[in-house]
Amino acid sequence: MRAFAPGSVTAVFAPGETADQSKGASVAIADGVVADVTLAEGPDAGSSTTDEPDAERPTADDHVVTVGGEPTDFEPVELALRKLDLPNAARVDVTAEVPIGRGFGASGAATLATVIAANAEFDLAMSREDLLEIAHRAEVEAGTGLGDVFVQHRGGLVVGDGGDPRKFARETTIEYSSFGPIATEEALADEDLMARVQREGTALLDALPDDPTLADLTRESWEFAQAIDLPTAAVREAVEAVESAGGTASMAMVGETVFAVGVEGVLENQTEVCPEGAELQ
């Protein structure tokens, strides 16, 4: 069973009241992640079935995860599979249209797509809300994100927190270029950085208009990125190129990635706002 989840670009965020929450402003993009979930094959994988009550249930080590066809350790996906308590071991083949670890929410998209596909493949009959919570908890425990799945679940432009967000429909072309990864787990564990994020992000989010445009949000996002001292030289150069062409650009949180609106052909990739959230294919 296959499921798709859109990528997401977070323009600004701030930690919430608890360690597993955050608030922010993010947009779902049409470039995303597909997870193909099937029963794992092999003598050790999937050996336990509901018809064998005395057999040892599969552990997380029984599950197989590949990215682009290559077996890999993908912690949030593996944690989510464990939380689903599947009756058999699963194989998850992840195909990503966006680079992983560069600010596109690829880990969250892969995890959300996995639980949606696994729910259908194994006839779990779980609610969308329960699947969303499992994906979110897996991301938090893995340290790969604080709220990407809530955006990818809804689509569009999402402002607020996981509990009570506002969704806005936007038909906007987005360009982007990525220069390298920034380890989300390390960024979230940097106390000085997160203190700046808390201060600057909260102030910006509180000042956003009731009906923000992507251009407005991108402009404010660049002020935020500079205030927390995160942009690299490559990021600054790309933002300057976009601004020189009459557009607006900023840095994706968290990755060495620039996204832009209001230009055409300045950055190497072009996508659209994804109006809907994750779904089976």
Cα distances from 225 to residues 106, 109, 248, in angstroms, run 20, 23, 14
β-pairing verdict for 279-280 and 166-168: unpaired
In a domain, residue 162? The reply is: no
User: Do 140 and 221 fall into the same domain?
Assistant: no
- How many CA atoms lie less than 13 Å away from 249 in the CB half-sphere? 29
- For residue 37, give the nearest of 130, 115, 123 by alpha carbon: 115
In a domain, residue 281? The reply is: no
The set of residues, in sequence order, having a beta carbon less than 8 Å from that of 80 and lying 6+ positions away, is 111, 114, 115, 134, 135, 138
Among 156, 180, 206, the domain boundary falls at 156
Among 123, 156, 189, the domain boundary falls at 156
In a domain, residue 261? The reply is: yes
pLDDT in single tens digits along all 281 residues of the chain: 999 999 999 999 988 766 566 789 999 999 999 999 999 985 445 443 444 444 455 454 589 999 999 999 999 999 999 999 899 999 999 999 998 889 999 999 999 999 999 999 999 999 999 999 999 999 999 988 888 999 999 999 999 876 678 999 998 899 999 998 877 677 777 888 888 999 999 999 988 988 999 999 999 999 999 999 999 999 999 999 999 999 999 999 888 999 999 999 999 999 999 999 999 99
Count the domains in the chain. 2
User: Do 151 and 80 fall into the same domain?
Assistant: yes
User: Do 59 and 183 fall into the same domain?
Assistant: no
Q: Measured between alpha carbons, how far apart are the two ends of the chain, in Å?
A: 8
In a domain, residue 277? The reply is: no
Block residue for tokens 């949606």: 116
- For residue 4, give the nearest of 131, 97, 101, 126 by alpha carbon: 97
Question: How far is it, in rounded angstroms, from Cα 143 to Cα 9?
Answer: 17
Asked if residue 275 lies in contact with residue 169, where contact means CB atoms within 8 angstroms, the answer is: yes
User: Do 23 and 143 fall into the same domain?
Assistant: yes
* Domain CATH code at residue 229: 3.30.70.890
46 exposure class (CB count in 10 Å sphere: 0-12, 13-18, 19+): buried
In a domain, residue 249? The reply is: yes
Question: How far is it, in rounded angstroms, from Cα 29 to Cα 31?
Answer: 5
Task: For residue 131, list its beta bridge partners.
Answer: none
pLDDT at position 164, please?
A: 74
In a domain, residue 278? The reply is: no
In a domain, residue 62? The reply is: yes
Among 98, 131, 156, the domain boundary falls at 156
User: Do 132 and 264 fall into the same domain?
Assistant: no
In a domain, residue 33? The reply is: yes
User: Do 82 and 133 fall into the same domain?
Assistant: yes
User: Do 108 and 222 fall into the same domain?
Assistant: no
Question: How far is it, in rounded angstroms, from Cα 220 to Cα 201?
Answer: 10
Sign for the CA dihedral angle at 225, 230, 235, 236 comes to positive
Q: Provide the b/e sequence for 156-170 (b: ≥16 CB within 10 Å).
A: bbbbbbbeebebbeb
Instruction: Domain of residue 183: give its range.
Output: 170-272
What single letter denotes the amino acid at residue 16? G
